[in-house]
Amino acid sequence: MRYVNPQPGKDDDTQMIASMTGYGRAEAVLHGRSIAVEIKSVNSRYFEYSSRMPRSCAFMDDRLKKQLGASISRGKVELSLTLQTLEAADTVVEVNTALAASYRSALAQIGSQLGLEDDTTVSTLSRFADVLTVRRAETNEDELWGDVQTVCAAALEKFCEMRRVEGARLQEDVSARLCTIEEMVGRIEQLSAGRVSAYTEKLYARLQELLADRAVDDSRILTEAAIFADKTAVDEETVRLHSHIAQYRDILALSEPVGRKLDFLTQELNRETNTIGSKAQDLEITRLVVDMKAEIEKIREQIQNIE
């Protein structure tokens, strides 16, 4: 979710990352109409909008899309609008005064010619055909749009709040996994630090065993140790991992959509971890790499839900 408050002009300094999954519904009776708006979304790489609404409201579809797009940057969003007119608010009764006058005149003529009392009333005239006609009132589009916009804003606020709550849960989970990965990187650094000296001692002992009473060439030992160190050094990778983790935390604190940035950094975390795994010649480091990859994959699954 984009970190834009659905109520323009209202400051919100407590915004945080949000999930792409959300739901919000609002209903109100305005100007004799019962209006209900429902908004729901699932994951998507981009902002995808679809709607269901009465044909009479089709003119406002683009406006509703813009209203939602101001607060949502990613997600497959579906809006449902239902409209019900109450108390005949959409009907108008029209009076044909000229026709009523003709009926009145005709009744008076009948009374005069037949010597009857003229007891004509408004009620009597209203019963004659076409004196009163009922038709559907023309829709005041500006008034209807204003009412729908108000209800949509209320639904959007609930929708955004749900996405923020879910986003907080995702952020907490990802942060915890970053701490776990960071601890593993520190353990790899500790194991890597003593690996060259251990290899050198092992190589020296092996050569002594093979050469028996002949002298061991120390320079050759140092050369082999240097080659081994160059092939298996993971210092650059661990430094970059620390940097990526720090960047990850900074991005999680941003007040803007961060899903794409996190996706890129997750790929970088995975790449550096794979490099360490390819260089590792230590069983414990290999195990740590496997565990790190499992944590990174879980993070990848979580950030797929982050806007």
pLDDT in tens, 3-15: 333 343 334 444 4
Per-residue pLDDT at 198: 58
Q: Give CATH 3.30.230 domain extents, the chain.
A: 22-87+140-163
In the predicted model, what is the mean pLDDT of residues 193-207?
A: 57
pLDDT in tens, 219-268: 655 565 555 554 556 778 889 999 999 999 999 988 788 988 999 999 99
> What is the Cα–Cα distance from 74 to 97, expressed in whole angstroms?
59
Count Cβ neighbours within 10 Å for each residue of 14-45 and write b for 16 or more, e otherwise: ebebbbbbbebebeeeeeebebebbbbbeeee
Query: Tens digits of per-residue pLDDT, 7-47?
Result: 433 344 444 789 999 999 999 999 888 999 999 999 998 99
Q: In this predicted structure, what is the pLDDT of residue 282? A: 78
| Alpha carbon separation from 154 to 46, 142, 149, 203, 204 (Å, rounded) | 24, 19, 9, 73, 76
pLDDT of residue 294: 96
State the average pLDDT for the chain. 83
Predicted local confidence at residue 26, as pLDDT: 97
How far is residue 134's CA from residue 273's CA, in Å, rounded to a whole number?
A: 76
Q: What is the CATH number of domain 22-87+140-163?
A: 3.30.230
- 114 vs 79: which has the higher pLDDT: 79
CA distances 217 to 221, 228, 230, 252, Å, are 7, 17, 20, 54
From CA 110, how far away is CA 306, in angstroms rounded? 83
pLDDT at residue 2, as a whole number: 34
Residue 210 one-letter amino acid: L
**How confident is the model at residue 219, as a pLDDT?**
62
Confidence category of residue 280, pLDDT binned at 50, 70, 90: confident
- pLDDT band at 197; cut points 50, 70, 90: low
Distance CA 142, CA 160 (A): 26
The arrangement of strands across the sheet holding 47-52 comes to 22-30, 33-42, 75-85, 47-52
